[in-house]
Amino acid sequence: MANPKEKKLSGFKPEEQLAPQVEVEIPKEKEPTEISTEISTEEKTDASEKPKFKIPKVYRKPTQIPNYQDPQVQKIEKIMEQGLGDSFTRLSPIAKQEFKIKGEQVAMKINELMKKTHVKAKKILKLIFEWLKILPGVNKFFLEQEAKIKTDEIISLKQK
């Protein structure tokens, strides 16, 4: 008696059941970083062939921080960076970049608060403290003290 598996395979005809294989041509470009969404304009004589598409290529530009040239913001940034050299040098390169970007954002927000007629020191203190919390391994009370000192110096800018 025949094996049951052989019975199931006896009716199998690989030529009939497999899908036809189609060859696809992928154009090779010299620079893989160029974006191109053009369709080739070559007309085909055979109606079954479709126009060939170029594969889009990706440009990867490093993200750049916008250079904010307001002198008030630059003064605020200098006040904020005072006394943080040792803590900053211990950060990893990625953490340094995050710390720098967040610091610039905080400086811009503080500048907006300074333009108002009534400056709220508590908001400035909170912004600076949240920014300083990015630094790892620094005592919370030290961060509060640094934030208060920096807030006082920034408010003195407004009074001048």
Yes or no: domain 71-159 corresponds to CATH 2.40.160: no
> d(Cα 151, Cα 15) in Å, to the nearest integer?
80
What confidence tier does 4 reach under pLDDT thresholds 50, 70, 90? low
Reported as a single tens digit per residue, the pLDDT across 42-92 is 544 555 566 566 766 666 665 555 555 788 888 999 999 898 888 888 888
Domain ranges for the chain: 71-159
Which residues, 6+ apart, have CB-to-CB distance to 88 below 8 Å? 81, 96, 99, 135
